[in-house]
Amino acid sequence: MMLGGVGFQAGLDQARRKQLAAQQQAAAQAPTAPVPDVVSQLKGLKTLRDDGALTPEEFEMAKRKVLDG
């Protein structure tokens, strides 16, 4: 006598489909992170540099961070 069988496998398949559908629905409802506006970030850094809040070296490091990532 075999335990499980076709009915057991069908139940597993249905459970997997439900789990996948729930994951897809959760992913669709998850808030997306806003895309940073590189231009406005660079303008803000330039303003800080022009106002003396950042040294030219600090400005270059911050600018590189914005452009790299």
Average pLDDT over residues 38-57: 94
Q: What is the pLDDT of residue 10?
A: 78
Percentage above 90 pLDDT, the chain: 41
Domain boundaries, the chain: 1-32, 33-69
Q: Which of 1-5, 12-16, 43-47, 52-56 comes out lowest in average pLDDT?
A: 1-5
Question: Residue 66 class from Cβ within 10 Å (0-12 exposed, 13-18 middle, 19+ buried)?
Answer: middle
How far apart (Å, rounded) are the C-alpha atoms in residues 58 and 49? 8
Q: Model-level pTM greater than 0.85?
A: no
Residues 24 and 64: their CA atoms lie apart, in Å, by 36
User: How many CB atoms within 10 Å of residue 48?
Assistant: 14
Q: What is the pLDDT of residues 15-35, one digit of tens each?
A: 889 988 888 888 777 676 666
